Amino acid sequence: MQTFRCQCGHKLFFGSSFCVSCHETVGMCPTCRQVTALKSLGDDTWQCTNQTCGQQVKLCRNRVDHKACNCTVAIEENDQVLCTYCRLNQVIPDLSIDGNLVKWRRLEAAKRRALYGVESNGLPIGDPSRNDFLPLKFEFKEDDPHPVSTGHASGLITINLKEADSVKREQTRVEFGEPQRTLVGHFRHELGHYYWDMLVEPAKLEAFRQLFGNEQDPTYADAQTAYYANGPKPNWQSQYISAYASMHPWEDFAESFASYLDMTSIVSTAQSFPRINANVPPDDFDAWLKVYREIGVMANEFNRDIGLLDLVPEVFNKPVIEKLRFMHDLKDIRVQSPEGSSSA
């Protein structure tokens, strides 16, 4: 994730709500997509101080009421009180329950980072309020009284609230033998299923099957039963980005999609720090992968020095590289919205 600059010159970060140097209110502008200082114009109206922008905005209602967002809404959107990310929510946790507000804030922070990443990669997001493309929706639920499964179905991403509990998430990570299990990772994985429905099935299905296999044989239910009964496929490391990816072509795609977003996010972050030579052409996939590998080796050693898990645990063999290249090309797919407009 890139860093940003306040009008005072101090560095701002993606999740910043105020500048720690000059203490000005800051936020994500929907027009220039920068985290910038906001100038108060009175009457709950603010102005982006980015010299090339100047958009007038209002603060997202989830920021005002719950400090759960740092985004803003363009003043022209008179009928909207929520930012483009928050208006995707269909169900949020019961905030009257102790601890739920903190967990929800963590979910929102991870969701914003994942969505900003897919937009930065040129992928469209279906806004339910406009009924464009495949509407993307989120539900954050608790196990009450029945267990809630984290997953995706026809544009609806459900996240179990317990994933925002660091202790419970770590217990699950160890139980399932996962090298990484993070909130951002959950969103990126489930967004992979979303973009399979939006982009791959209608426009790139045969190319998908050549790389990932036929999603109809075996059925998802049969593949899932076999995976949990027998574990991952033998020697899965030679073909897949993770053990879970070997369960079914859909999961292989989602795991590869999440790993691709990890790569682009980390390399983009490195580009904000001149001492790391990460300036590569936007469309040169091989250059991005080369830099990512170099950063991974360095970061893994730093993490090992203090006993942390590897930042980049994946092995990038030829089959995995071709799957990541498939993700890189998704932005070139022309997808038609219900309203008749098209987008890359």
- Retrieve residue 229's tokens: 């009964």
Asked whether the beta carbons of 90 and 111 are under 8 A apart, the reply is no
Lowest mean pLDDT segment, chosen from 96-110, 208-222, 322-336:
322-336
Asked whether the beta carbons of 28 and 72 are under 8 A apart, the reply is yes
- Cα separation, 153 vs 52, in Å, equals 40
Q: What confidence tier does 111 reach under pLDDT thresholds 50, 70, 90?
A: very high
- Cα separation, 325 vs 319, in Å, equals 10
Q: What confidence tier does 124 reach under pLDDT thresholds 50, 70, 90?
A: very high
Q: What confidence tier does 205 reach under pLDDT thresholds 50, 70, 90?
A: very high
Asked whether the beta carbons of 154 and 135 are under 8 A apart, the reply is no
Handedness of CA 84, 89, 95, 101 (dihedral sign): negative
Strand, helix or coil for residue 167: helix
The per-residue pLDDT for range 259-308, each reduced to its tens digit, is: 999 999 999 988 887 777 888 888 899 999 999 998 888 888 888 998 88
- Cα separation, 241 vs 339, in Å, equals 37
Quickly list DSSP for 189-222: HHHHHHHIIIIIHHH-HHHHHHHH--TTSS-HHH
- Cα separation, 38 vs 197, in Å, equals 38
Q: What is the pLDDT of residue 168?
A: 78
Mean pLDDT of 212-228: 95
C-alpha distances (whole Å) from 308 to each of 64, 174, 258, 305, 312 are 36, 14, 21, 8, 12
Q: Give this prediction's pTM.
A: 0.91
- Cα separation, 226 vs 91, in Å, equals 33
Q: What is the pLDDT of residue 132?
A: 74
Lowest mean pLDDT segment, chosen from 44-58, 121-135, 220-234:
121-135
Is the pLDDT confidence value at 342 over 70? no
Is the pLDDT confidence value at 340 over 60? no
Asked whether the beta carbons of 16 and 70 are under 8 A apart, the reply is yes
Q: Is the peptide bond before 128 cis (omega within 30 degrees of 0)?
A: no
Runs of H (alpha helix) within 213-248: 220-230
Residue 48 has phi, psi (to 5 degrees) of -65, 130
